[in-house]
Amino acid sequence: MCSPEYFAVEYAINPWMDVTRPVDPELAVKQWDRLRETLVGLGHEVHLLAPEPGLPDMVYAANGAFSVDGTVYGARFKHHQRTAEAAAHRAFYESQGWRFIAPNETNEGEGDFAYLPEAHGGLILAGYGFRTELAAHAEAQEALGRPVISLRLVDPRFYHLDVALASIDDGNIVYYPGAFSAAGQKVLAQLFPDAVLAEAEDVLAFGLNLVSDGANVVLNSEATRLAGRLKAAGYTPVPVELAELKKGGGSVKCCIAELRH
């Protein structure tokens, strides 16, 4: 995770960003701290990436890389405003001794990649259409040695996979069908017949931008209906308030890069 010390909406590179809506930096840090404390309280270890001035979106740590079994496939951001973030993530992973593979293709890390180790023997779901290039999916497959399923995103509001789909345990997902092409919807229905399906109000509340340890699901507190669906499916919803960070087009998952050793 990376503190929102320098977080601001200084430009608009997704439909949620509005430069005329001021961000309360103090409140953003407070909400982010609460998220971090929630993870620690659930028994997880949180590593911190130092924020850098001039990179207001660094708080969205999920976008900087994608790791599977100790190998890291690095990010290459689409928009120049975020380009320099990739080097900070690479330096972190290399300092920790991870095997790092630099990308040639444009991709935004866990923003567009999700890993399910127990789904069909280990499967990567990958989004494209707005930020990550389709060619990056093949590059990730070569880098990580896991089959990649490409899913086309069709609604600009759901510009990253992690806004419309999330893994809720090692073999199952929650997703909003309307974010995907008709073919993508068929693929997901075939691969995950027991998936939890979300509605438009869930995804618009950034409810699908969540993290789950297989039992506890940490999600945006505004997604009350989705929390009910997850509880009915046997999970424990853990709501957190992230209204300030939503102003940049992200929520819980965007703030968390999962480290898969």
User: Which residues are catalytically annotated?
Assistant: 160, 254
Burial class (CB in 10 A: 0-12, 13-18, 19+), 98: middle
Residue 116: partners with Cβ closer than 8 Å, 6 or more residues away: 122, 123, 124, 125, 167, 170, 171, 172, 173
State how beta strands 196-197 and 211-212 pair.
Answer: unpaired
Closest CA relative to residue 174, chosen from 260, 252, 77: 252
- Number of CB atoms found within 10 A of residue 200's CB: 12
* Tokens 């419309």 -> residue: 164
